[in-house]
Amino acid sequence: MSAQIATATPVAHAGLLGLGAYRPRRVVPNAEIVDRIASSDEWIKTRSGIAARRWAEPDETIVSMSTEAARRALTAAGIAAEQIDTVVLATSSQMVLGPSAGAVVATELGMHDTAAFDVSAGCAGFCYALANAANLVRSGQARYVLVIGVERLSDLLDPADRTCAFIFADGAGAVVVGPAETEGIGPVAWGSDGAQTAAIKQDKDFQQYFAEVAAAEASGGSTVRPYIRMNGQAVFRWAVTFLEKACREAFDVAGITADQLDAFVPHQANMRIIDALIKALAIPESVAVARDIVETGNTSAASIPMAMEQLLRSGGAKPGDTALLLGFGAGLAYAGQVVNLPPID
């Protein structure tokens, strides 16, 4: 038994102790994309709400972006890296099967013999990871857990795909989860629908791709690498008809109602989906709503921590405020929980 597990004890409550985010240096406005997808700035804004997004440069990797976001979260929490017992990293764009990005990030942060693993739950990944982290803290399996959501989705984009090329983007966000005097992370409401896998998916698996490459080499032909594809209408229909139930379940298990919220931080998938959820849930105008998608795009598993950070940094919300987090996307999967917002670096 490790020393970390031996000294950890169960606690009554878990909370978000600190938050950090990393946004890639390169800002990509709609004007840089429209010609390749035969579109316009107005069409993109009307369809998604996006005016610009961040795409990572070659040196801004899954590991480097995660490490920087994590450092900022640790600073905000006042926790040293060596105090972290577990790292849980959510991503869908790590381009290798192993080692886990979480383990590499732990080493980059100077951690030693620290449990670390990755979670793949698409755009719901951060909320899935957060739920697991809170349970680790409450059970005594860990005292402090570092949760990271990170993506380099620009690596998976077909630049001429009119359904995806303007939506997905890159970045990282991280939180430190640890013991709290009162409950700061409500029970998770989560689920999935594997019948909807075609709505968002990689268009071919690597076994198929390698077979195509071999055939192309033998015949002197060519092949096309795998890309992420999305049926936007299918995702929209699922989101606006199903996610109201998920949000109400999150309210029920947390024991609150929409009018007790200070903030709403949905996955930054599409501004129209966000507006539809606000209407369906009758969220009061006094509630601050994260709209980071306008300048950041859809960053999948990184979306919610980055949106939380933007909302806090802009002054739209403040640490300690009660917020509903809701992640949803590829799977199709969803997860939501009511939290108290953390401090930022």
Report the alpha-carbon angle 336-338-342, nearest 5: 115
CA pair distance 267, 269, nearest whole angstrom: 6
Q: Which of 30, 247, 267, 340 is catalytic?
A: 267
**Burial profile 207-218: b = 16 or more Cβ within 10 angstroms, e = fewer:** eebeebeeeeee
Whether 298 is catalytic: yes
Residues 310/296, Cβ–Cβ less than 8 Å = yes
Other beta carbons within 10 angstroms of residue 240's beta carbon come to 16
Output the CA torsion 53→162→332→132 (10° steps).
-20
Whether 164 is catalytic: no
Q: Which of 30, 270, 298, 340 is catalytic?
A: 298
CA pair distance 240, 307, nearest whole angstrom: 20
CA atoms within 13 A on the CB side of 58: 0
Whether 13 is catalytic: no
CA pair distance 136, 126, nearest whole angstrom: 15
Residues 328/268, Cβ–Cβ less than 8 Å = no
Other beta carbons within 10 angstroms of residue 286's beta carbon come to 8
Q: Which of 123, 127, 164, 247 is catalytic?
A: 123
* Residue 49, CA distances (Å) to 88, 210, 272, 274, 294 in order: 31, 37, 8, 10, 6
* List of E strands, 111-227: 115-119, 145-152, 170-179, 189-192, 200-202
User: Any idea which residue has 């909320």 for tokens?
Assistant: 127
Residues identified as active-site: 123, 267, 298
